[in-house]
Chains A and B, each alone.
Chain A
Amino acid sequence: MRGIRIWCFLALASLVVPALAAARQASTPDAPGPQAKAEVKADAAAKPPAVAQEAKTAAKPAAKKGEEKRAELIVPAYSDIRQRSAVIVFYVWLWFSIAVLIYFLRQWVKEADRVYKAKYYEPEESPRKGNPMAAGVGE
């Protein structure tokens, strides 16, 4: 029963969080009007470049180099299709990794619960001697 609640909570959170993010994005004014130059990529679909694993350098700012006082907004945005797809790959890898890790963690949780319920006491010579997940009950 508890499990279902967690999934409901996660589903709700996965709806609430992007809504919050979109609201935050929408309510932040993009630039003080007269200073917005042509190079500003402030569209709502602006997405950031680069992938976490590689050493790709960072966002394209559209700021002129060597300018004393910057007049335009720096917006993290994609500069080519490669960056856009790299981010999608990262999302997939991230959530797939998390799913795999959670799968294993759930196995460990079930094991730990079973061990606790059975009040399993660790005999000295068992092959599980080095197991760090052995319950501390009765040790």
Chain B
Amino acid sequence: MKIDVKTFVAWFKDRLALTPILKYMTKKEVPQHEHSFWYYTGSSILLFLFIQIITGIMLAFYYRPTLEGANASIARIMTELPLGWLVRSIHSWSATFMIAIVMVHMLAIMFTKSYRKPREVTWMTGMMLLVVSMVFGFTGYLLPWDDLSLSATKVGTNIPMAIPVVGKWVTQFLRGGDDVTGDTLTRFFLFHVCILPLVIFAILIVHILLVQKEGMSVPLKDEIAKKKVPALPFWPNFVLREVIIWLVLLGTVLTVSLAFAPSLGPSADLMAPAPEGVKPEWYFLFLFQTLKIFPANMGPVTGEFVAVVLIMIGIMAVFFLPFLDNKPETKKGKLVTYLCILGVIYAIVFSIWSLQ
């Protein structure tokens, strides 16, 4: 019996039930139409998630999640460890890229209306993934424990206070008490490296399995016309194209990380006044600005309460979009599209506004 790769693979195939998976990979087909470019966004997210896991683990080898040690350990990573500053830079930039591509992915699905039946649950798990990604970013932002991140976290964990009934409890859960302390840091670290990864993997598995089960969606007009869209095999044709996109994205993130590596401020002083220019990461800017424009008091309630309620209504509307847009081919569908465009413009305009 000749020992070669095929025999080796066959040994595994005999014992693990890999054959159905491999057969599925060869049989799976990806439709080719004018919007099929957006199919690449999904796997690009996985690329950045993978980069985050690797760089995150590398950073976690040396990071100390305590009030005294956090800033100093990152300073050590940046100065003493070989290419530590680059690892941190890649982790920071890849977070930005990942959330950007998640948003692009969401918008692509939104405007092609791929959330329509039977893909409603896929959309909802996708929205949950978006929220989890943003919470990842939020928890990670505190970990360097410098002035900016401390202030941003104080503001961010204060927001749930405006929610009626449960608000105070949520804030106390997030902060580990009434105020942001060393306990908050340790807690956020645990969220960031243990709880959120488990959550994201759980939701991701459901999301990906659903995508495989439902198959790739085709544009609405093709579905209505019951047109048979030409398709490419997933393996190897589509995967090879995906690899090209991954290479370009990898090169981009490396270039940007090298060129614009983040700096590290001195360790945060809990008693110091808030520094100038406190703002959250870019993906929270539009929410931040929305909160800022409401006046302090609006009748019997605070402006912040009204803002939080409106934001929650907005989030719910997007979450249940497949049910709101249940007749996508009609005029109602067009109305929803225009509302979505309006939403995107609102997010962009408010984000830019908050930077002024």
Instruction: Give residues in A with beta carbon < 8 Å to B.
Output: 2, 5-6, 9-10, 13-14, 17-18, 20-25, 27-32, 35, 42, 47-48, 50, 52, 55-61, 63, 69-76, 87, 90-91, 94-95, 98, 101-102, 105-106, 108-109, 112-113, 116, 130, 133, 135-137, 139
Docked pose: A133 CA to B237 CA in angstroms:
9
Q: Does A58 contact B276, Cβ atoms closer than 8 Å?
A: no
Q: Tell me the interface secondary structure of chain B in the complex.
A: helix
Q: B188-196, B244-252, B317-325: which one contacts chain A?
A: B244-252
Docked pose: A68 CA to B5 CA in angstroms:
57
Chain B 46-87, CB-CB to A under 8 Å as 1, else 0, gives 000000000000000000000000011001001111111110
Q: B174-182, B212-220, B261-269, B336-344: which one contacts chain A?
A: B261-269
Chain B 79-108, CB-CB to A under 8 Å as 1, else 0, gives 111111110010001001000000000000
Given A61-B75, A87-B258, A133-B236: A73 touches B264 (CB 8 Å cut-off): yes
Q: Does A76 contact B78, Cβ atoms closer than 8 Å?
A: yes
**Distance to closest chain A CB from B197 (angstroms):** 25
| Interface size, chain B (Cβ < 8 Å) | 58
Pick 14 A–B contacts, CB within 8 A, sort by A: A18-B259, A27-B279, A27-B355, A50-B82, A50-B86, A58-B83, A59-B79, A70-B75, A70-B266, A91-B258, A112-B237, A116-B237, A135-B236, A137-B233
Q: Does B266 contact A116, Cβ atoms closer than 8 Å?
A: no
**Distance to closest chain A CB from B56 (angstroms):** 18
Q: Does A91 contact B255, Cβ atoms closer than 8 Å?
A: yes
Q: Does B251 contact A21, Cβ atoms closer than 8 Å?
A: no
The residue that A109 contacts in the complex, of B5, B27, B237, with Cβ under 8 A, is B237
Please give, as numbers and ranges, the residues of chain B lying within 8 Å of A50 by CB-CB distance: 82-83, 86
Q: Does A101 contact B247, Cβ atoms closer than 8 Å?
A: yes
The residue that A58 contacts in the complex, of B82, B243, B244, with Cβ under 8 A, is B82
**Distance to closest chain A CB from B287 (angstroms):** 17
Please give, as numbers and ranges, the residues of chain B lying within 8 Å of A95 by CB-CB distance: 251, 255
Within 8 A of A (CB), among B220-279: 232-233, 235-237, 240-241, 243-244, 247-248, 250-252, 254-256, 258-267, 275-277, 279
Please give, as numbers and ranges, the residues of chain B lying within 8 Å of A56 by CB-CB distance: 82-83
